[in-house]
Structures are given as structure tokens and as C-alpha cells.
Amino acid sequence: MTPFTQENEMFRLSLRQLVEREIVPHAPEWEEAGALPRDLFRRLGEQGFLGVRVSEACGGSGLDFWSTAVLVQELVRCGSIGVAVSVLAHAEFATKVIDRAGSEEIKDLFVRPAAAGERIGALGATEPDAGSDVGAIRTRAVREGDDYVINGAKTFITNGSIADFVTTVVRTGGPGHRGISLVVVPADAQGFRRSRRLRKVGCHASDTAELAFEDCRVPARYLVGPENGGFKLIMQGFESERLVLALICCQQMRLMWEEARRYGHERKAFGQPLLGFQVWRHRLADALTSIEAAEALTYRAIDLYVRGEPCNGEISMAKLFAAESCVGVAHDCAQIFGGNRYMEEYAIARLQRDSLAFSVGAGTSEVMREIIARTSGLEPREEAR
């Protein structure tokens, strides 16, 4: 049974048309360029695809996460996974938290134009010395009059080179997670610099960069939520980020599986199609079982999330299983292509490469296992320590 409503399906249809018409033909050049053009954000914004979860007061549609799920699934269908990564980093990771916790002024300044596709956003959390351990970040924001003065560096930031604003995780208080805040840094702020565009193994259509903050001055009113209250906001944001990544993996696995099935019917060896060999029928049967299981876990987690139930463990299971399965399914689906698995002209070559990012982004598989352990009573009891 599908969890999607008729409204979701209508949304899917119009998005699918846009993806086929305006994304599929250009995805190869964006892979080459290493970033999406601004115009794509504008086109998606004009048609209301970037503000699906943004409140209506800020120019969005105020829909629930199922519409984001449709957005992810349809963008992934273009076959260039970086497209979905970049668009969702903008529409969901960088923007949703401002919509949820920002003042009316910063919503108007950043969320409204982001939903319209006029300003591109990025989320800046990871630093050269702190990734999984968000509580250890060192980028510091010091209050000076009506401003914050920010010093530090961020790395691996999706949309880093093209963003007009970065929702930035900074230290405003003491050590640990209680001293962390979120501040929006406009890209034209004095002292903000994009230090380097990073060359990735895959997801080439999404731009990834290192950022530097050198006495970077932003108005203190660009703070999102309470000062030193940023950690909770980031953890809440992680829930939807992980769901997005689980959805990307599920849809990507479907693409790879369909490619493998098609090739398995067409390609012959020893006088018969590859799918004439039981080993390939079984490998693709196993792959399909993993895809269905990953999707079921993901849909269950989304259902809990949309209903506002506690679901940190379920989200982590979905993200863990989908990301790990994606690597295995990528390998099996690529292997049937023989030498062609390694050739750029085959979509499978790009897809298997893109699959490597998801056991790391938005929380590694090891961190997911820690959360599952914590939420299911697996941590040693105090008296046993």
C-alpha cells in the first residue's frame, strides 16, 4: 500500500515532467561543471518545489514530509544524484531550521527568497577537526555590539561555492554542546570566504566547498533560535536530513536495479542472456529484497516523523540500512555490466560511485548504530560501569 496521497501524486506528476524536460537533458553538463546553475533553483522555486515544507507565511506550501519524499524521489530519477543532494541541502537542510526557529525578520530575509529559488542556502556544521562530534566545533562567534564576529572554518559544505547564505553552526558559549548556536551568514558578509572547492569521488553535480570565516561580521539578529540553543535545533534538523538521505538511497537503488535488469535481459554470454543464469536472477532478487526492506523502514520512519512521534531510533535504522544496502546493491547491480561497469558512458558507473557518500553524510553508519543502541536500551547500565 502506498503512503502517498492523491495530492502527493499530482505533485509527483508535475515534478516528473519538469525533471524530464529541464533536468535530464542538462544533468551531464552539470556533472562536468561540478555544480547546479542558479537558474535551476529559480525554475524549481517558481513552480513551488522548493518551499514544500516551508510555512505558507513565508511563501511555501506548508505541506508535510511526504511531499519532500516525492521531491527527493523524482529528483533522483534524473540519474545524477548530486542534483537531489544540492537541491535538498538548500531547501531542507539550510532553510527549514530558519523557518522553524528564526525570527520573522530572518525568515523574510532568507527563507522567503530560498523558497522562491532566488537565494541559495547551505548548512555549515562540519569542520576540519569536528564532524560526527558536532559538540566539538570550534568556529567561534563573539558578540561585539549589535554584531557577531565569527572566526573559524567549515569543510565538506554542500552548495558552499554557490550559496548566498550559510546556516552556520558556531560556538557562542563554553565547551560542549551547550555552547553552540546557529547564525545565518550571508555570502557577502565581510570576512566570509569560500576557500576551496572540493573535488569529490561522486555526486559531481552538487558543489562541495571549504569555507573560511575571518573576523566575519554579521548582525546578531541573524541568530536562529536562542543563543547557546543551537545543538537541539541541529539534532532536530538531522532527523529530516537522515530521512532525505535514506530516501535518496532507496530511489538510487531502484534506478541501479532497473539498469541491471535491463542489461541482464539484453546482454548475452555463453549463448544466453545473463539473466538466464540463476546466479544473476538470485543476486537481483536479493537486491530487490534489500530495496523493499529499506523503503519499508524509511516509510515507517517518515510516518512516525510526520505524526510527531519520537522516532530517532527508527530514522537511524532507516538511514543505516538504506545507506549500507545502497553500497551492496550498487556493487551487485554494477557487476552484471562486466567491463562496462567501469565506463563513464554507462549510468551505472556514475550511480555506483555516487552511492559511497551516504554512509557518511548527515551522520555516519557508526553514529546511526550508536543512536539505535542508545534508543533501544543497549548502553551499559550505570551500576555495571
Residues engaged in binding ligand FAD (CB under 6 A): 89, 122-126, 131-132, 156-158, 200, 203, 208, 357, 360-364, 366-367, 370
Residue nearest to ligand FAD (CB): 131
Q: What is the DSSP string of 176-198?
A: SGGGEEEEEEETTSTTEEEEEEP
User: In the 8-state DSSP scheme, what is residue 199?
Assistant: P
* Distance of closest approach, residue 2 Cβ to ligand FAD, in angstroms: 30
Catalytic positions, written as ranges: 241
Q: What are phi and psi of 150, to 5 degrees?
A: -110, 135
Which residues pair with residue 224 across a beta bridge? Answer: 182
d(CA 157, CA 297): 28
Helix axes 230-266, 312-335, angle to 10 degrees: 30
d(CA 188, CA 185): 8
Give the 3-state secondary structure of residue 308: coil
Cβ closer to ligand FAD: 83 or 367?
Answer: 367
Helix axes 65-76, 81-88, angle to 10 degrees: 150
* Distance of closest approach, residue 201 Cβ to ligand FAD, in angstroms: 9
* Distance of closest approach, residue 7 Cβ to ligand FAD, in angstroms: 30
* Distance of closest approach, residue 93 Cβ to ligand FAD, in angstroms: 6
d(CA 155, CA 195): 9
Cβ closer to ligand FAD: 161 or 172?
Answer: 161
Cβ closer to ligand FAD: 186 or 363?
Answer: 363
CB proximity list for 142: less than 8 A, separation 6 or greater: 148, 149, 150, 172
* Distance of closest approach, residue 145 Cβ to ligand FAD, in angstroms: 28
* Distance of closest approach, residue 278 Cβ to ligand FAD, in angstroms: 36
Which residues pair with residue 269 across a beta bridge? Answer: 272
Nearest to 161 by CA among 205, 111, 102: 205
Q: What is the DSSP string of 225-245?
A: SSTT-HHHHHHHHHHHHHHHH
User: In the 8-state DSSP scheme, what is residue 113?
Assistant: H
